[in-house]
């Protein structure tokens, strides 16, 4: 769902950050670097291990820019983790809504391009309730992955908006 950067780019960036740290100071650093080299094998438990390492070993022992980058790395890994756990269900639901709304079949990227074109060409009315429902559900799904503590998202949940 996220357009930039990709999961792979985030993992490579995090690995690069870890590679710049001192292996002798952080005993488990090499293990986590090696884990990040196998991008296709990254799963929830491996991310948990790296997040715990960042929390327990890096954040408390780093200063300045490196400490800031440790926070960024941790937050990025948590986004990836939520994406791994939630994305498939959300994308399936989004595709179903798009196919119904557009009366077209396709993958999520192509369907979203068609949606944008139809809105731009005024073939779809911005006040259409089905369109509004789709956009709200899609936004809520994206926020649940990228910004689950965002006050606007939390208020929308409290106000009864769907979380899918």
Condensed to tens digits (0 to 9), the pLDDT of residues 28-66 reads: 999 999 999 998 888 999 999 999 999 999 999 999 999
Query: Tens of pLDDT along 95-124?
Result: 999 999 999 999 999 999 999 999 999 999
pLDDT on residue 4: 64
For 40-78, letters b (16+ CB in 10 Å) and e give: eebeeebbeebbebbeebbbeebeeeeeebbeebbebbe
Mean pLDDT, to the nearest integer, of 3-16? Answer: 87
In percent, how much of the chain has pLDDT > 70?
A: 98
Mean pLDDT, to the nearest integer, of 13-30? Answer: 93
Neighbours of 35 (CB within 10 A): 20
Helix (H, G, I), strand (E, B) or coil at 8: helix
Question: Cα 14 to chain center, whole Å?
Answer: 15
Contacts 24+ apart (CB under 8 A), 68-72: 69/17, 70/17
Distance CA 83, CA 95 (A): 17
Indicate whether 3 pLDDT > 60. Answer: no
Beta-sheet strands, E only, within the chain = none
pTM recorded for the entire structure: 0.76
For 18, the token pair is 């870890």
């Amino acid at each position: 769902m996220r357009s930039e950067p990709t999961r792979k780019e985030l993992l490579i960036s995090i690995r690069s950050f870890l590679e710049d740290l001192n292996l002798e100071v952080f005993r488990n650093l090499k293990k986590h670097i090696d884990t990040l080299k196998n991008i296709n094998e990254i799963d929830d438990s491996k991310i948990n291990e790296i997040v715990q390492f960042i929390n327990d070993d890096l954040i408390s022992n780093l200063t300045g820019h490196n400490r800031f980058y440790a926070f960024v790395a941790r937050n990025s890994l948590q986004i990836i983790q939520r994406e791994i756990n939630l994305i498939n269900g959300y994308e399936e639901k989004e595709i179903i809504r798009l196919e119904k709304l557009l009366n077209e079949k396709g993958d999520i990227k192509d369907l979203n391009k068609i949606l944008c074109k139809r809105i731009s060409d005024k073939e779809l009315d911005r006040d259409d309730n089905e369109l509004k429902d789709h956009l709200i559900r899609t936004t809520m799904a994206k926020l649940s992955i990228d910004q689950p503590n965002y006050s606007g998202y939390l208020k929308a949940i409290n106000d009864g908006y769907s979380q899918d």
